[in-house]
Structure 1
Amino acid sequence: MSRISTSDLHGYLIDERNLGSLAEIPATLYEEIHADILALYKQAAAHEDPFGEGAQSHLKERESLREYIRDLYAVRTRKILALALARANGEEIDRDEIRMMVPGERVLFDVVYESASSCRKTLLDGKPTFETTAYHFVPAEVSAEQAPVLLQPVNETPDELCADEVNVTSADAPAPESYRVIAVYENLPEFQDYSGRIYALSPGDVVSLPPQMADVLCKDNKALSIRLRK
């Protein structure tokens, strides 16, 4: 099976926005995009220079996939909710619409329909219902190998990041353990970190970055590692 490209995903989004009904998408689209996002993350993390063109291109592509799939999900979900509520109110809906739903979306449709039907019976007909409905769906393609892998610090000891280090007393909570705080020495071109955050840093900026990125900037004398104390 060929990989779904960013342009393919953008095409699905355009079709979904232009159609009043649900557009056809691959049954495993969400699972495939999830796998691609994870693969791009791993490819970016494998580069020695996280600021280089190779790593940054992977991160930018990953962020594009994330934005497109979120937008597609939002548009399709609005349509699915409207269909489920219409059916719960006794309206006829096109069965082709249901066939256009991928498995996880069909579960959402059923849950909303059943919940709305129960609510209608209780509030309008005075018939208490005791069913409990909740969304639960496990994609068939998901496996332990697809679970996100947290990046480990390049150096276990923060002192090894830079020869020089500044100790700062702060009442604020420290940066997350997976991030390190640095003070920037010079202007840096815009870049993304592994979580998709975009930075445009100037001298004097204090920011928390993944340890791999902080390590590179410190070793290149472009930043100074900061140790926070409460």
Structure 2
Amino acid sequence: MAVDLLEKLRQMLLDMQHSGRLSYIDPGLYDDARAYVEKRKTDYYDLKNPLESRMGSLIIEEIGSVTETVQEIFSVRTRQVLDLAFQQAEGQYASKDEARKMLPEERAMYERIISAIEECREALVHGEAAPFGGDDAAAVGRSDEADGIPEPRGTPAVPAPRPARSPYALVHIRSDVESFMGMDGRTYVLKMGDIVTLPENNADVLCEHDIALNIRLNK
């Protein structure tokens, strides 16, 4: 099963990169990959001495390979959906056949991107509406008032920048760690033997202190 799933994912990724077009994928692909990773984690924890056994190392490699391959599939498909959305928003020819191959979640993203592009165009090019108005704009205004910073009259409110999302790294925890808040805003409580994905910055700190081992992923 492990070899079959990983080879299937890798072949799918190669086909996507070669064709450059959005292709059909099994709607259950992401669910199957997550289920596989969870099962292999259980297999790892069931080993008597996972840190010292060859099988433990092999399981970690399998988890890493599947995790990275699925992430790359997501990235490739997301870029393809973005291209299709831009073509549609610009009135260019967009393949309906490719659009039919989107997963429901990708279709929702596609439609929201088109809507956002059109709304922003109306605001900036035609000056007909405030971009991304409503609750978000009001929330920004309330935040400025709470900070005691008056908004200059006649000056459009500048949306608050969103924090950059940190890349993640798959790591193997080598000793217990006190709870901490990661760069992504989540609170982590880690124990020796855990296999987790952490924001890359946090993972680097733990690895520098020999608390975690960064699992180098194989393609």
Task: Give the TM interval when normalised to the shorter protein.
Answer: 0.5 to 0.7
Q: Which has the larger radius of gyration?
A: 1
Matched AA of 2:43: Q
Query: In structure 2, what residue type is equivalent to 1:73?
Result: F
Shift of 1:126: 1.9
Q: Offset of 1:19 from its aligned partner? A: 0.7
**Structure 2 partner of 1:207:** 210
**Structure 1 equivalent of residue 37 of structure 2:** 37
Secondary structure of the residue that 1:25 maps to in structure 2? coil
CA contact (8 A) 2:175 2:191 kept: no
> Which consecutive residues of structure 1, in runs of 5 or more, have no partner in the other structure?
135-152, 156-175, 181-191, 198-204, 211-230
Alpha-carbon distance in structure 2 between the residues aligned to 1:207 and 1:21: 43
Pair 1:177–1:119, CA change in 2 (3 A):
closer
Native 8 Å contact 1:9 1:69 kept in 2: yes
| CA deviation vs aligned residue, 1:150-175 (integer Å, no higher than 9, x gap) | xxx999xxxxxxxxxxxxxxxxxxxx
Contact 1:4 1:32 (8 Å CA) reproduced: no
Work out the number of aligned pairs and report it: 155
Output the amino acid matched with 2:190. Answer: S
- C-alpha contact 2:175 2:212 (8 A) present in aligned 1: no
Shift of 1:196: 7.1
Q: Does 1:20 align with 2:32?
A: no
Partner of 1:195, secondary structure, is strand
Aligned-pair CA distance for 1:20 = 2.2
Secondary structure, counterpart of 1:87 in structure 2: helix
* 1:184-230: CA deviation from partner (whole Å, max 9, x where unpaired): xxxxxxxx972379xxxxxxx962159xxxxxxxxxxxxxxxxxxxx
Q: How far, CA to CA, are the matches of 1:39 and 1:77 in structure 2? A: 27
Q: What residue in structure 2 maps to residue 118 of structure 1?
A: 119
> Structure 2: any 5+ residue segments left out of the alignment?
137-173, 177-187, 199-207, 214-219
Q: Which has the higher helix share?
A: 2
RMSD between aligned residues: 3.6
Q: Matched residue of 1:125: which SS?
A: coil
Please tell me the residue identity of whatever aligns with 1:208: I
Residue 4 of structure 1: CA displacement? 6.0
CA distance in structure 2 between the aligned counterparts of 1:44 and 1:10, rounded to whole angstroms: 23
Tell me how far apart the structure 2 counterparts of residues 29 and 132 of structure 1 sit (CA, whole Å). Answer: 37
Identity rate of aligned residues, in percent? 23
The answer as to whether partners of 1:59 and 1:193 remain within 8 angstroms in 2 is: no
For residues 116 and 122 of structure 2, the distance between their equivalents in structure 1, rounded to whole angstroms, comes to: 10
Deviations 1:10-50 (A, max 9, x none): 01100000012112211121122112111111211111111
User: Could you tell me the TM-score, scaled by structure 2's length?
Assistant: 0.60
**Distance (whole Å) between structure 1 residues aligned to residue 100 and residue 135 of structure 2:** 22
Q: In 2, Cα distance between the equivalents of 1:48 and 1:154? A: 17
Structure-2 separation of matches of 1:55 and 1:120: 53
Amino acid in structure 2 at the alignment position of 1:108: M
Query: 1:92: Cα distance to partner?
Result: 2.5
Q: Contact 1:41/1:194 (CA < 8 Å) preserved in 2?
A: yes
Separation in 1 of the partners of 2:109 and 2:47?
39
Does the alignment pair 1:178 with 2:179?
A: no
Paired letter, 1:83? L
Cα offset, 1:7, TM superposition: 0.2
